[in-house]
């Protein structure tokens, strides 16, 4: 999967050229709603230099919506904004402009929504940067239209460690902020300055596969709805769609790694209570481990998560987004999958090759592609359209090798 050093350096130079501050300060949208935005900033060059717990970098001045706001903190909430409206902003510390961007507040009530989904991306390698560039191009193409991109969803494995040594240990796993510069803040900087990037946890985001300290760093550094970091949470857009970010990992905050997704656990009790409440037209869970996959490496998580799938089916869920397997897959919506389309987008940076067509029918997988990609998801009323995009044409095929027409269309029953 590794590309040439020259290719990687040229991509790095492209993103450095987007702003003089890109090599040091990063400004990002920490939360966004119909009438407010929360902006945050810092540097990713040490142990605690960015995120909620980082110490102040000095008095900051924010210009937005004709206002001049001053704060000693590393973030600011700007309220009383107009829904579905564009606002340019700049952030300065002293005489230095450290960040700038333009946000579009959310609609109060909507019948349309566009968002991105990406998983298994934080490698710092050339494919990640190339996908990030395609994401930025697609974002810009839509920015001034009636269908702008409102946010990005991660389906986990956000920061990968660098494998080193004879026994394959991990370094730079995401435990320190300096691990995040070239694996998150740099490739996605123009996007982060404009929309929130809401995460879920993957096995590489804690001690299931790497280091326990990765988990608190993710809770500190990522945007979260209402700026409330959590291993699982929900949010709603425009009374149209409700999103459930779920934790399917064995990452632990103390002691050995252990599953948090069990039927008798706190997470599932929370899920049962929240799914039972009135909800908008679309209910969309997203998490790391796919209940249905044809591989080639990972087995299905259905046996571990079948209580989740039963709850999804009872709650009218029609689409679920996953990662973990480093390719693209979309499941059948059949009796075995409870009529739900499970879509794997696990190749935002990583890529796993291997022809899985012989396993697809048995695994309830409709189509597959072994290419780096992310997803563009469009909702319009009762219809959802899902389009995988890459830096090269996507070759998505069914088990007999026939091409799958795009976009993938899901219609509310």
54 in a domain, yes or no?
A: no
Q: Give domain status of residue 330, yes or no.
A: yes
Residue 345 lies in a domain: yes
Characterize the bridge pairing of strands 86-93 and 75-78. unpaired
* Residue 338 within a domain: yes
Mind listing the pLDDT tens digit of every residue in the chain (413 residues)? 344 434 444 444 444 444 434 458 999 999 999 999 999 999 999 899 999 999 999 999 999 999 999 999 999 999 999 999 999 999 999 999 999 999 999 999 999 999 999 999 999 999 999 999 999 999 999 998 999 999 999 999 999 999 876 566 789 999 999 999 999 999 999 999 999 999 999 999 999 999 999 999 999 999 999 999 999 999 999 999 999 999 999 999 999 999 999 999 999 999 999 999 999 999 999 999 999 999 999 999 999 999 999 999 999 999 999 999 999 999 999 999 999 999 999 999 999 999 999 999 999 999 999 999 999 999 999 999 999 999 999 999 999 999 999 999 999 98
pLDDT for 5 equals 38
CATH number at residue 246: 3.60.21.10
179 assigned to some structural domain:
yes
Helix (H, G, I), strand (E, B) or coil at 321: strand
Q: Residue 61 phi/psi, 5° resolution?
A: -115, 125
In a domain, 149, yes or no: yes
Q: What is the DSSP string of 82-147?
A: PTT-EEEEEEEETTEEEEEEEEEPPPSS-SEEEEEEE-S----SHHHHHHHHHHHHHHHHHTTSSS
Structural domain total, the chain: 1
Which pLDDT score, from 0 to 100, does residue 342 have? 98
| Domain ranges, residue 284 | 5-19+107-411
Distance CA 67, CA 81 (A): 11
Instruction: Note the pTM of the prediction, 2 decimals.
Output: 0.93
Task: Say what the pLDDT of residue 411 is.
Answer: 97
Residue 74 lies in a domain: no
Q: Is residue 219 part of a domain?
A: yes
CA–CA gap between residue 232 and residue 250 (Å, rounded)? 13
Residue 212's CB: how many other CB atoms inside 10 A? 18
Closest of 261, 258, 257 to residue 244, by C-alpha: 261
Residue 48 to residue 55: CA distance in whole angstroms: 8
Q: What is the DSSP string of 369-409?
A: E-S--EEEEEEETTEEEEEEE-SS----EETTSPBPPSSEE
| Residue 398 confidence (pLDDT) | 97
């Amino acid at each position: 999967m590794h590309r040439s050093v020259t290719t990687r350096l040229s991509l790095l130079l492209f993103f450095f050229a987007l702003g003089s501050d890109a090599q040091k300060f990063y400004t990002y949208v920490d939360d966004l709603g119909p009438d407010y935005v929360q902006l945050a900033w810092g540097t990713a060059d040490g142990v605690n230099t960015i995120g909620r717990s980082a110490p102040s970098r000095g008095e900051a001045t924010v210009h937005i919506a004709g206002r001049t706001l001053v704060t000693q903190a590393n973030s600011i909430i700007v309220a009383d904004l107009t829904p579905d409206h564009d606002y340019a902003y700049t952030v300065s510390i002293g005489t230095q402009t450290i960040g700038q961007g333009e946000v579009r507040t959310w609609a109060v009530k909507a019948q349309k929504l566009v968002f991105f989904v990406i998983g298994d991306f934080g490698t710092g390698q050339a494919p990640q940067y190339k996908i990030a560039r395609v994401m930025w191009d697609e974002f810009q193409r839509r920015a001034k239209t009636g269908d702008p991109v409102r946010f990005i969803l991660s389906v986990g494995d956000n920061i990968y460690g660098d494998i080193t040594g004879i026994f394959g240990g991990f370094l730079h796993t995401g435990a320190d902020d300096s691990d995040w510069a070239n694996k998150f803040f740099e490739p996605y900087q123009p996007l982060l300055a404009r929309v929130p990037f809401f995460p879920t946890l993957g096995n590489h985001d804690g001690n299931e596969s790497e280091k326990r300290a990765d988990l608190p760093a993710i809770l500190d550094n990522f945007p979260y709805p209402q700026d409330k970091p959590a291993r699982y949470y929900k949010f709603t857009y425009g009374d149209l769609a409700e999103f459930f970010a779920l934790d399917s990992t064995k990452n632990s905050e103390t002691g050995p790694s252990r599953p948090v997704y069990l039927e008798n656990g706190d997470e599932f009790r929370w899920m049962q209570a929240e799914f039972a409440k009135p909800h908008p037209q679309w209910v969309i869970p997203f998490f790391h481990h796919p209940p249905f996959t044809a591989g080639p490496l990972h087995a299905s998580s259905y046996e571990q998560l079948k209580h989740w799938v039963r709850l999804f089916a009872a709650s009218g869920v029609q689409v679920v987004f996953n990662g973990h397997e480093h390719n693209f897959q979309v499941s059948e919506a059949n009796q075995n999958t409870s009529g739900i389309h499970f879509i794997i987008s696990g190749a935002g940076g990583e890529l796993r090759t291997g022809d899985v067509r012989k396993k697809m029918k048995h695994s309830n997988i409709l189509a597959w592609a072994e290419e780096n990609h992310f997803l563009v998801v469009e909702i319009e009323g009762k219809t959802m359209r899902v389009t995988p995009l890459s830096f090269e044409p996507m070759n998505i095929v069914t088990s007999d090798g026939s091409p799958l027409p795009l976009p993938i269309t899901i219609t509310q029953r």
